[in-house]
Amino acid sequence: MEGSTPGGSAEKPLSVGELTRMVRGLLEAGFPQVWVEGEISNLRSPSSGHAYFTLKDEKAVIQVVLFRSDAARLPIRLREGAAVVVRGRLTVFEARGQYQVVATDVQARGEGALLERLEALKKKLAAEGLFDAARKRRLPLFPERVGLVTSLKGAVIQDFLRILERRAPGLEILVRDVPVQGAQAAKAIAAAIRAFNDPPSVDVLVIARGGGSLEDLWPFNEELVARALADCRLPTVSAVGHETDFTIADLAADLRAPTPSAAAELIARDWSDWRGEVAQLARRAERAVARMLEISRERLVRVAGNPFFCEPSRMILRWQQMLDEQEEALDRSLRRALSLKRERWESLVRHWRAVRCEEQIRRLSERVGQWAARLASLSPESTLGRGYAIAFDDHGRILRAARSDLIGKEVRLRLASGRLDVCVLRLVAEETRAGEKADSENV
């Protein structure tokens, strides 16, 4: 009955919230898990860590929300335009009244999966240094033998050979036929690179193929091919696809050419260009030689006009005259120096004679003798020689007076020759008093 269901009549209407909750319940019960395929657009990643994007195809769109805990576990990186398959539950976002998928997993699909693999391999090989600029080698300026790894079935080889024949006729080309797409292509390409490299049999190696989809070019994105290029001792050129195509082989090779035809132009410069450059160098060399000859001719003229070469005998006579003048000047200088030394010597002799040094020395010697005699007469040895003696007590001190305390003690006498140890027996009274008085005065 119409009025028995919720919202079935105007008398019992549903609120917007009630209706939205009922729709959400029906969707969640009917689609507890769903897989949806589409292309990511309007991707947003706020600071909360959640991810919001629209999943679309040619006919419709649906909103997808991926919460932070599920986003952290994804094996791929979400990016705008990627083809993916989303797993989740269908629900309704009540605040906006729109249905959406709450995703729990996102997987790459088709070309998107290949792009994810490509990015992961790029990061891995770049971390190992396979793409470093320091590893890149320069191409030889004048290669004589060129190695080419490509398929003989395509138009690439025809364009490549035609350009080389036009630009550098006579250049030797060695080709190894390999499949350039398919499951076995990468293995065949890597084997061909190693065959040219071990031992090196060409001057430069080119790997080439025409354009195609990402799947068609995928063998040149394989790790096996990248490592074969990195290990190659030959200068390598990658010429894969069109100018807009980019592969891992382009990064691993020493040089990337936008197309196979461009690779032919890069490895062999047009001989007509070389001829023009050689002609220009020849003209520059001729001008340089002519200028050198002109400068040498001018120097020769200046040297030939030098008087030494015009009249050498006159120059020699002039040098002889200069030598004579120098000799005379040296002789005059020596004579003047000798004259000054002689005058100085004579002045010293006259001064010596004027001061009468011998007489002064004699007078000084006489005075020295007189002073020596006076000193000798005043010396203690002279006094002892006249019969006097010097008395010392038992402590070695000189006795200057006779004292009563010396009676019975030994006294040492120093004579003009020798020494005597004597004992004091008595003292003369006058001399004793005089001695004691002298001692008291000395005290």
Kindly state whether residue 9 falls inside one of the protein's structural domains.
no
Give the HSE-up count for residue 217: Cα atoms under 13 Å, Cβ half-sphere. 25
The answer to whether residues 186 and 294 belong to one domain is: no
Kindly state whether residue 297 falls inside one of the protein's structural domains.
yes
- What's the gap between Cα 22 and its chain centre? 72
Residue 431 clears pLDDT 60, i.e. is over it: no
Residue 308 clears pLDDT 70, i.e. is over it: no
Kindly state whether residue 322 falls inside one of the protein's structural domains.
no
For residue 23, the model assigns a pLDDT of 78
Q: Report the CATH number at residue 196.
A: 3.40.50.10550
The answer to whether residues 103 and 31 belong to one domain is: yes
Whether the upstream peptide bond of residue 199 has omega within 30° of 0, thus cis, is yes
State the DSSP string of 4-23: TSTTSSSSSPPPHHHHHHHH
The answer to whether residues 105 and 143 belong to one domain is: no
Closest CA to 80 of 116, 42, 112, 52: 42
User: SS3 for 178?
Assistant: coil
The answer to whether residues 203 and 257 belong to one domain is: yes
- 79-89 pLDDT, tens per residue? 888 888 888 98
Give the HSE-up count for residue 8: Cα atoms under 13 Å, Cβ half-sphere. 6
Q: Is 396 left (phi over 0), alpha (psi -120 to 50) or beta?
A: left
- Which of 75, 109, 143 is the endpoint of a domain? 109
Residue 411 clears pLDDT 50, i.e. is over it: yes
Q: Which residues contact 169 (CB under 8 A, 6 or more apart)?
A: 271
First to last CA, the chain: 162
- 99-156 pLDDT, tens per residue? 889 899 888 776 666 777 788 888 999 999 989 989 999 998 888 899 999 998 878 8
Residue scoring higher pLDDT (16 or 311):
16
Residue 4 clears pLDDT 70, i.e. is over it: no
* Mean of the per-residue pLDDT values of the chain: 83
- Which of 258, 292, 310 is the endpoint of a domain? 310
State the DSSP string of 20-87: HHHHHHHHHHH-SSEEEEEEEEEEE--TTS-EEEEEE-SS-EEEEEE-HHHHTT-SS---TT-EEEEE
Kindly state whether residue 161 falls inside one of the protein's structural domains.
yes
The answer to whether residues 161 and 254 belong to one domain is: yes
The answer to whether residues 154 and 224 belong to one domain is: yes
For residue 442, the model assigns a pLDDT of 47
Q: Which residues contact 252 (CB under 8 A, 6 or more apart)?
A: 125, 130, 131, 225, 226, 227, 229, 230, 236, 238
- 188-230 pLDDT, tens per residue? 999 999 999 888 889 999 999 988 777 788 899 999 999 999 9
State the total domains in the chain: 4
State the DSSP string of 359-391: HHHHHHHHHHHHHHHHHHHHSHHHHHHTT--EE
The enclosing H or E element of 146 equals strand 145-150
The answer to whether residues 135 and 264 belong to one domain is: yes
Kindly state whether residue 340 falls inside one of the protein's structural domains.
no
Q: How far is CA 163 from CA 139, 144, 148, 397, in A?
A: 18, 15, 14, 133
The answer to whether residues 421 and 302 belong to one domain is: no
The answer to whether residues 146 and 255 belong to one domain is: yes
For residue 97, the model assigns a pLDDT of 77
User: SS3 for 240?
Assistant: strand
User: SS3 for 236?
Assistant: strand
Kindly state whether residue 331 falls inside one of the protein's structural domains.
no
The answer to whether residues 158 and 36 belong to one domain is: no
Kindly state whether residue 339 falls inside one of the protein's structural domains.
no
Q: Report the CATH number at residue 76.
A: 2.40.50.140
Are the C-beta atoms of residues 11 and 17 closer than 8 Å to each other? no
Give the HSE-up count for residue 356: Cα atoms under 13 Å, Cβ half-sphere. 5
Are the C-beta atoms of residues 262 and 242 closer than 8 Å to each other? no
Are the C-beta atoms of residues 248 and 225 closer than 8 Å to each other? yes
Give the HSE-up count for residue 300: Cα atoms under 13 Å, Cβ half-sphere. 6
Query: pTM of the entire structure?
Result: 0.45
Q: Which residues contact 75 (CB under 8 A, 6 or more apart)?
A: 107
Kindly state whether residue 359 falls inside one of the protein's structural domains.
no
Backbone angles phi, psi at 154, to 5 degrees: -90, 175
* Residue 412 structural domain: 381-442
The answer to whether residues 141 and 64 belong to one domain is: no
- 353-389 pLDDT, tens per residue? 776 677 777 888 888 888 887 877 777 777 777 777 8
Are the C-beta atoms of residues 249 and 193 closer than 8 Å to each other? no
Neighbouring CB atoms inside 10 A of 79's CB total 15
- Which of 269, 295, 319 is the endpoint of a domain? 269
Of the pLDDT bands very low, low, confident and very high (cuts 50, 70, 90), residue 316 is: confident
Average pLDDT, integer, range 16-36? 80
The answer to whether residues 160 and 247 belong to one domain is: yes
- Residue whose structure tokens are 């032919």: 264
For residue 443, the model assigns a pLDDT of 41
**CA–CA separation, 256 and 236 (whole Å):** 9
